[in-house]
Amino acid sequence: MLDDFMTRATLAGIGVAFAAAPLGCFVVWRRMAYFGDATAHAAILGVALSLTFQLSVFAGALAVALAMALTVTLLSGRGYAMDTLLGVLAHSALAFGLVAVSFLSGVRIDLMAYLFGDILAVSRSDLIVIWGGAALVVVLIAWRWSQLLTATLNEELAYASGFDPKREQLILTLCLAVTVAVAIKVVGVLLIAAMLIIPAAASRSLARSPESMALIAAVIGAFSTAAGLRAAYMFDTPAGPSIVCVAAILFACFSLLGWQTRRGA
Amino acid sequence: MTLITVENLSVRYGANTVLRHVDMTVEAGEIVTIVGPNGSGKTSLLRAIIGAAKPSAGLVSLKPGLKIGYVPQKLHIDPTLPISVERFMRLTDRVSGKQCEEALEVAGVSDLLKRQMSQLSGGQFQRVLLARALINRPDVLLLDEATQGLDQPGSAAFYRQIEEVRRETGSAILMISHELHVVMSASDRVICLNGHVCCEGSPAVVASAPEYRALFGTGTGGALALYRHDHDHDHDHCETSREAAE
């Protein structure tokens, strides 16, 4: 069954969608959208480094995404506003990454594959990495769910309940780095943030609880993957962007529906 | 029985010392109000008690096993986060539906269980926060300017509810307020804070203390008189204030 590249691509996309759904909800609730973007941009530097030192792309992207996320967490609240800091770090990392890639004369790299993903080229071992990473993220978030929610609502409330909100923030940061690293091959650097945010945002108008929002986001993400790949196959369009297009169309439909019902109510 | 003991506490943010050598206690069942101008370290004191701010010197000790109910100053729920009152109530503590309803009843909002948090008015929202803090039957309730954003009748009603809570549950209450004239009648003891403890004692004593008047002026004197009531006990630890009152 896994011999078929379309099946592998669909499974890879669904794996990413499952990890991105609950994480994306937190990204939306905590207004960290730009954070996801920045981490993803930095991952290009990771790709360049891993190609230079002949490591796996996953390991390189993960290391740089983690370093980036931790640096931002450490530097936040020390002078510059968060978005300024993210802008500086993300775009510098992306630029350094692109320059570093140009030095790799011996290797021929299709940079487009990392910017926009190459989901149709996903191998069996990629699938293992993607589903392993996705499972890690889902388990981590499920385990800390109540604490993460509390810390998202109010830091003092978290302290008063006896846990450290900074640790919860760190868990989210870690999950973000893992998701970016596994998703790089599937949707690419430029569209990772889209996979995080769009399904989560699309599920908002349908959800009545935080849990249902995460579940609906997972369904929307998985459906977008399947439908997007189908469309890409039929119309010969790029796969990653097609997936995001489907998610965006769903977002538009559900939002309109939400406005309609609210006006009716 | 002493629930919270703060000894010689100092808190620093960077080079900025916000609290210096603060001593205070909260006894079981009493209502203590902290008043002070903006930037006087009121919130930092509360943050130090719940462990959110690290003391740069001194000690905060809680009675072993002390259960704290915390009502934050402001709780912003992003409009993208769908959450019902019931789910919010059960966020941090494993509680039964019955406990949930009881806590809402004590806070005076038993009819809101199924509503979405985003649909509540300011006053309802604060009461739900209060109910959430009450749900695990705390020994002490901490309130950080819990009536911010409420109008005067709204906050007066809220503080009446607090007295009601103490009567029903017997929990101690430590609260921050800048509306001394509103909380006065509800407080057993008032601590006037401005980086350090300026003075403390019964509400009437603090209201007439020169340190308090230096901070807040005498403009609220008229309003204070309205709420003034007699206390049948005395406080020895407020020498200067008492002299001034006499």
Q: Where are the domains of chain A?
A: 5-191
Q: Which residues of A touch B82 (CB under 8 A)?
A: 204, 207-210, 212-213
Please indicate if any CB of chain A lies within 8 Å of the CB of B70.
yes
Nearest by CB: B78 against A31, A150, A160: A31
Q: Residue A213 and residue B68: Cβ atoms within 8 Å?
A: no
pTM of the model: 0.84
Q: Roughly what angle, to the nearest 10 degrees, separates helices A82-103 and A57-75?
A: 150
CA angle A223, A18, A231 (to 5 degrees): 25
CATH number at residue B189: 3.40.50.300
Closest residue of chain B to A255, computed from CA coordinates: B80
Closest residue of chain B to A161, computed from CA coordinates: B92
Residue B32 pLDDT more than 80?
yes
Domain annotation covers residue B120: no
Q: Residue B47 and residue A154: Cβ atoms within 8 Å?
A: no
* DSSP secondary structure letters along B177-199: -S-HHHHGGG-SEEEEESSSEEE
Q: Which residues of B touch A155 (CB under 8 A)?
A: 52
Which class in CATH covers the domain with range A5-191?
A: mainly alpha
Query: Averaged over B229-240, what is the pLDDT?
Result: 42
Q: Residue B80 and residue A146: Cβ atoms within 8 Å?
A: no
Please indicate if any CB of chain B lies within 8 Å of the CB of A207.
yes
What confidence score (pLDDT) does residue B242 get? 40
For residues B232 and B203, give the distance between their C-alpha atoms in angstroms, rounded to a whole number.
Answer: 12
What confidence score (pLDDT) does residue A236 get? 92
Closest residue of chain B to A208, computed from CA coordinates: B82
Confidence of residue B95 (pLDDT cuts 50, 70, 90): confident
What confidence score (pLDDT) does residue A184 get? 87
Nearest by CB: A154 against B47, B75, B116: B75
ipTM: 0.80
Give residue-wise pLDDT tens across range B212-229: 877 776 555 444 443 443
Domain annotation covers residue B87: no
Q: Which residues of B touch A151 (CB under 8 A)?
A: none
Q: Residue A209 and residue B84: Cβ atoms within 8 Å?
A: yes
- In Å, how far is B73's CA from the nearest CA of chain A? 9
Domain annotation covers residue B59: yes
- In Å, how far is B69's CA from the nearest CA of chain A? 7
Please indicate if any CB of chain B lies within 8 Å of the CB of A28.
yes
B75: closest CA among B142, B139, B138, B149? B149
Domain annotation covers residue B83: no
In the sheet that holds B57-62, the strands lie side by side as: B16-27, B2-13, B57-62
Q: Which residues of A touch B49 (CB under 8 A)?
A: none
For residues B103 and B92, give the distance between their C-alpha atoms in angstroms, rounded to a whole number.
Answer: 14
Domain annotation covers residue B225: yes
- In Å, how far is B28's CA from the nearest CA of chain A? 18
Residue owning tokens 């802008």: A87
Domain annotation covers residue B184: yes
Phi, psi of B50 (to 5 degrees): -85, 0
A186: closest CA among A112, A130, A116, A119? A119
Confidence of residue B233 (pLDDT cuts 50, 70, 90): very low
Q: Identify the domain containing residue B173 by its residue range.
A: 2-67+138-245
Please indicate if any CB of chain A lies within 8 Å of the CB of B232.
no
Give residue-wise pLDDT tens across range B181-212: 666 677 889 998 888 998 888 888 887 888 88
Closest residue of chain B to A28, computed from CA coordinates: B80
Confidence of residue B169 (pLDDT cuts 50, 70, 90): confident
Nearest by CB: A156 against B69, B72, B87: B72
Q: Which residues of A touch B46 (CB under 8 A)?
A: 156
Q: Residue B52 and residue A156: Cβ atoms within 8 Å?
A: yes
Q: Residue B91 and residue A149: Cβ atoms within 8 Å?
A: yes
As for how many domains chain B has, the answer is 1
Domain annotation covers residue B85: no
Please indicate if any CB of chain A lies within 8 Å of the CB of B119.
no
* DSSP secondary structure letters along B112-133: GTTSBGGG--HHHHHHHHHHHH
Per-residue pLDDT tens, chain A, 265 aa: give them: 566 888 999 999 999 999 999 999 999 998 888 888 888 888 888 888 888 788 888 888 899 888 888 888 777 767 777 778 888 888 888 888 888 877 776 656 667 778 888 888 888 988 999 999 999 999 999 999 999 999 999 888 899 888 888 889 889 988 999 999 988 888 888 788 899 999 999 999 899 999 999 999 999 999 999 999 999 999 999 888 899 999 999 999 999 988 887 766 5
Longest dimension (CA), chain A: 64
CB pairs under 8 A between A and B: 63
B51 vs B220, higher pLDDT: B51
Q: Residue A28 and residue B80: Cβ atoms within 8 Å?
A: yes
